[in-house]
Structure 1
């Protein structure tokens, strides 16, 4: 038999893929076609060489159903007609790969967005960029899901919250479903403004911090404004800008802020305004009349705020950790004093002629009201701290040479309670402490002796922190450690500590340690963790113990 081998330039064979796909995935169906160029009009028979097959087809099409990786390799064909035979075609390299799992991404990449913002949900198939995919979506709110790889949500609402996943389809082939990405859409947030102090010191500045909750939301820039009618944001000529939404200001005025992110910019609601006062170089003095630092129950005493220098009239502001608050007047007359009046008092003045100017705070003066000087009783608290979480178990134990005890308390609303819910011997056990248990507590013996009084504050916010601080006054020269604690986590790091509203520590340490306490360390303390603040508690500092007479209360003249 004589066959004529045709010149490759006259008639030649070529292998082509029916679909113009650059990437073939396992499980798909493909068709390879052998085309004879220059041999039109003749009836051809075909031969194929292919990997991993002993019986290739004899037609012009080579169809592979549910292709696998083993089908990867070189494919060639040639044709014969009568006595004519083409040469083998050039090799067609077929590469079959496993399809990658799609991924859903967000642009911008914020899983927490707010009503009114615009976000794009995108389906990405790695390695299949050149393929002609049709996309399917499972989405929280899609009545007519798109078939493209992007889903753009314009002016998002809360109903857009939920899980989003996708998969790719090509002919009858489907990729896996992607993992679900959860999108949360919340109400438009309101910025929060925090000031480490509200009075600008003479020649100094005050740091203001703007933030958007929750702290997990990201991408925010902050815009600052001064005075109610100002719509133009502050610039570097008006304040010193720091990172993390902080600025330092040295001018008095009414400040507010808001956050913005995205393009076009999406703005939060404005924060509450905070008044910054200009401090005049005057420090008031708190005096007691009579000048007794300790008085006894039933006596009368006047706490007075004196401002020397400056020919002006003043409005007065008092700050005290006593349970009974002082009025905003120059003096506070206490008639028939009780232990609830004990505490530290300090004051400042605000000019009536210029309500934007204020004095510095005075130094604190400690007033101690003793219920009975013959007392040999004391009260201890376990756990030994001022602040507690709701549902905590707290024990108050009376100590002294007495057989009968009762624990009394003076509550926040001014009521006096005489009995403990569960008194066992000398211990009052509160198994499940409540917000209403916030009060001043003291012990009273059957013979009428009274212990020291202690403050108990109950944190009502389940997720809020508490400040761990000592119940009793700290002796000058002693060391003390303050810390911040959550209900679920006792030791925290990266905590902000404040003393008399001023930020004094902001680093990775979880404790505020004072190695040698002095009188200047006395005052209000609070902590902040992850944008949440504890209540504030007063830490008292006392001098060395002074032995007191155990005789009956002395007679004193009230001046």
Structure 2
């Protein structure tokens, strides 16, 4: 009877055990670009943020179809146009309570072009203030005499000479769009001019939205006559990200000094409260809307 009870207990435990970890896999682009010519190669690496360095098996997917590859790195060799698609990965490993899986990665799109000219853009979104670096690539090394860059079908840059590197400095949100390039060259007494397919460029700001204020009624360690002001903002910069400072105001008067924490405990007085999030190294800052906290209620 004891054996049967323990067997049933283990079976019930396995049935209710979680099969998905809190880890989310991500894809690292090993190649220089996700947009390539047919016949070229692409490498993608599946990264699992496991601090315990467990042994994982890797599941790869193209669109909704699982691929036979189970290695950490996915290699697409001698790619053809049909190799294009959205790729994602997921980790899987055996444990004492059965197989568990990570959350799937966000997909990355590989584009294989069968033409003569492609515009290679960064595989990740460009952050406001950065330089957008692009390359107008030719399948063969022709003597280029002119390169034109288009955004949403409108010419934005024209340069003479053999350089195929194109740069847009200090980008802002308005620089987001569909980009293409045209390369022109002379060969055998004739001029050739070919335009690439359009490729999207996404630009993200340091602050995805304006800060907003929230308050908590005094309780616990806060104290009865205190309120906790919280300044919520989504800071969007790639690591190593410059530090962000928070400033808190009451009736437009600064409450103390700047802090790296997004919260501050102050005396519970009625008034108009606001906060400012600032990245000193980038000269960026955003204000929240002022909120009235009179008879403060928990939110």
Q: CA deviation at 1:529?
A: 1.1
Name the CA distance, whole Å, in 1 between partners of 2:142 and 2:104. Answer: 34
Contact 1:375 1:451 in 2 (8 A): no
Quick one: which of 200, 212, 215 aligns to 1:538? 200
Q: CA deviation at 1:386?
A: 3.0
- Matching of residue 431 in structure 1 with residue 84 in structure 2: no
Q: TM-score, normalised by structure 1?
A: 0.28
Contact 1:491 1:510 in 2 (8 A): no
Q: CA deviation at 1:510?
A: 2.9
Q: CA deviation at 1:526?
A: 0.8
Q: CA deviation at 1:488?
A: 2.2
1:466-503 CA-partner distances (Å, limit 9, x unpaired): 11111111111111211211122399551111101111
Name the CA distance, whole Å, in 2 between partners of 1:440 and 1:511. Answer: 27
Q: CA deviation at 1:387?
A: 1.3
Structure 2: gaps of 5 or more residues: 1-19, 51-55, 93-100, 185-192, 208-233, 237-299
- Matching of residue 405 in structure 1 with residue 58 in structure 2: yes
1:218-261 CA-partner distances (Å, limit 9, x unpaired): xxxxxxxxxxxxxxxxxxxxxxxxxxxxxxxxxxxxxxxxxxxx
1:101-158 CA-partner distances (Å, limit 9, x unpaired): xxxxxxxxxxxxxxxxxxxxxxxxxxxxxxxxxxxxxxxxxxxxxxxxxxxxxxxxxx
Alignment match, 2:88: 442
Structure 1: gaps of 5 or more residues: 1-371, 411-415, 549-559
- Matching of residue 391 in structure 1 with residue 45 in structure 2: no
Contact 1:523 1:539 in 2 (8 A): yes
Contact 2:173 2:203 in 1 (8 A): yes
Alignment match, 1:233: none
Contact 1:496 1:506 in 2 (8 A): yes
1:253-308 CA-partner distances (Å, limit 9, x unpaired): xxxxxxxxxxxxxxxxxxxxxxxxxxxxxxxxxxxxxxxxxxxxxxxxxxxxxxxx
Distance 1:457 1:497, change over 3 A: same
Alignment match, 2:26: 378
Q: CA deviation at 1:512?
A: 2.2
- Higher helix proportion (structure 1 or 2): 2
Distance 1:393 1:386, change over 3 A: closer
Q: TM-score, normalised by structure 2?
A: 0.51
- Higher strand proportion (structure 1 or 2): 2
Distance 1:417 1:504, change over 3 A: same
Name the CA distance, whole Å, in 1 between partners of 2:143 and 2:133. Answer: 13
Alignment match, 2:65: 417
Within-5 A mapping of 1:175-190? none
Number of residue pairs the alignment of both structures matches: 168
Q: CA RMSD in A?
A: 2.7
